[in-house]
Chains A and B, each alone.
Chain A
Amino acid sequence: MTASTAGTPPERSLARTGGKLRAWFSKPANVILLLFCIALIVLTLYPLFSMLSEMFLVHSPERSMVRKMGLKVGDFTTVHFDKLLFTLDDGIGGDFTTSNSWINFYQPLLNTLLVSVSASAIAILFGGVVAFLITRTNISCKKFISGVFVFPYIMPSWTLATFWQTFFKNTQIGLGTSNGIMASVFGVYMPEWFVYGPFPIALVLGLHYAPFAYILIGGILRNMDANLEEAATILKTGRSRIIRKITLPIVKPAMLSTLLLVFASSMSAYSVPVFLGNPVRYYTLSTKMKSMMDTYPGQAYIMVAVMIIFGVGILLINQKVTNSRKQFTTVTGKSGQVSLIDLNAGKRIIAAVLVIILLMVAVVPLVTFALESVIIKAGDYSLSNMTLDFWLGKGLTYLDQGDDTGILLSAKVWKALGYSLLLAVSCALIAGTCGVLIGYGVARRRGSRLANWVNNLSFFPYLMPSLAFGAIYLSMSSKLSVPLGLGVLILAGSIKYMPFATRSGVSAMLQLSGEIEEAAVITGVSWWKRMLRVIFPIQKSSFLSGYLLPMVSCMRELSLFVLLVPTSNTILTTMLMQYSEKGWAQFGNAINLLIIVVVLLINFVVNKLTGASIDKGVGG
């Protein structure tokens, strides 16, 4: 090489940089991460900062509050912070426990932390134990338990809450006007703490989100390399020591992911605390936030920020753990068959207990909804009070329940169902595919700044309460003059539920040893083929759960879409909300049941076509 071809030092430096860039861009993982980084900044950071800026602005409903201060709508102010966080003596009398800040912020915050931590513990414990029993023991009825366990997640969260209330309410507590099934049939009057307040809220949320733990922990347990446990068994290590020293460390990332998902979900859960908390005046940050959003939006956005701060805290902890050296590749090219723990006689007893619990949690509510959708007057279960009119009737003016046509004959219900399906499938395809790609990028560039950025950015939407997220997208659509419609709904749904797919994708990819792809690279297989023919088939169950979870979530999502739908009849859940809020319980229960049946059918069809289902991450 001559001096002239080598060029001057700056030219050489430029050539080196160009070479480095070419090399950097030649790796698909880098390109994927860069593209997603840009897209996620626009679609998640902008909404986040837009939302946070609302804490410092005067809004239309706050004009009464700031009138005397000479402020007008859109002005900068810190008055929302003063009123929400620092008004511990508002001069109206009473001690600090009756002050504005305590009532509207500190007490709801403490309540929220209590139920969120409890719900996370219940979900991880229940979901994790069942996942272990299904994947690592010879427990009976695996197929039934595995299939039914995801029912509570498929059902909208408020359905379990309403069932709890309907089942246990009695004349000695709450509204004190009517008896539920427990009191009227068995004569048992449950105490107030059992029916309303933090205990049932945490329990219902825990049961609702237990499938997270079941799917995430179970997915890893099912896919993990059996060699590790077998080696320990050969070395005569005891079962409990194997669980403590091998199994638990391996599932720890999944447990943390579950904790993150359940805690963030519980913090922003709205329907369950409304049903089970409001009757006894037990408020959480989300219920307070929702009621303040109407009158004091600035203070409501501060609450949103607090929820996000907590979520980010857990996210950082999660990140620290996933970046630490205590991270295990569990799927290699040489996995073996896991030997199951023999529960002996216990396999039937434990199965029976689980089946009873699952029947109570997953099946009895469905029966209750079916029953409640055919009675005319509440509480009267005699045959003379039953009708199928709410399902199949026409010209039902005598009911005066908002509609005069049974839901199966109603054109608007079918139209809404079509929209809901289209929305759910679109969100699932977009979020699921993004999840796989982000998972690939993050796993292959693990530890790099860009990978961390994308990984965290993709999780941000989950930390934003759905209602606030919907409000921001509504505001964005108006600023950009984009009319509300299916496009906006799909965009919001895909972004909001991308964390499910990303968690699932990252988790699956981190388990996948790099040597598998390397083998394909050596033989000259293109990136697309490696993804489609090698990587995807190996971790199919985890990836498909990344598609199915956003779909199921979208099918039963309400808060996110309530402000974005062009009309309340656009999708099934907003239609259901309309019926529920108006107190038209029969139509509401019928639509609720319809949503659940449709999701179960989809699960069934997907299972038949691809061999995968939501619970397939666990197997059994």
Chain B
Amino acid sequence: MSKFKKNNKRESGAISTASLPDIVFMLLFFFMVATVLRTEEEMVKVVRPEASEIYKIEKKHLIRYINIGPPQDKRYGTEPVIQLNDQFADVAQIRDWVENERLTLAEAEQTKMWVSMKVDQDTKMGVVTDVKQELRKASALKVLYSANSRERTN
């Protein structure tokens, strides 16, 4: 049997786990810095289109969101609806909403508000156009069409 016996009986010691907490903490801090807490529930399903000419807004507190897409809950139908904050809304409510959201900003920043439109890619333009017209009437002219980034095509 000695044929199969290893001559070298030295074993390497177990890997030290002393640095494990450090690694975990590093991960933790990464996630804390890189993410934001989910502030509002998405009540509509939005598959964002892709675009190459992407602009990133740095001052996130200036952004207000309008979501447009089919409701998550099938009981509300499959036609695209508009979601403002945590509610379904009508096109006619947008002007009031803009006014209210503007008041939540500091006075000096009220003209700098961005409206980010998160619109499902299969939505028909009719709804989107109506929303845009209302935004114009409310003088909320800075609009971001939310999109995922992709490479520029040649």
Our verdict on whether A and B bind, yes or no, reads no
Q: Which residues of A contact B (CB under 8 A)?
A: none
B residues contacting A by CB (< 8 A) are: none
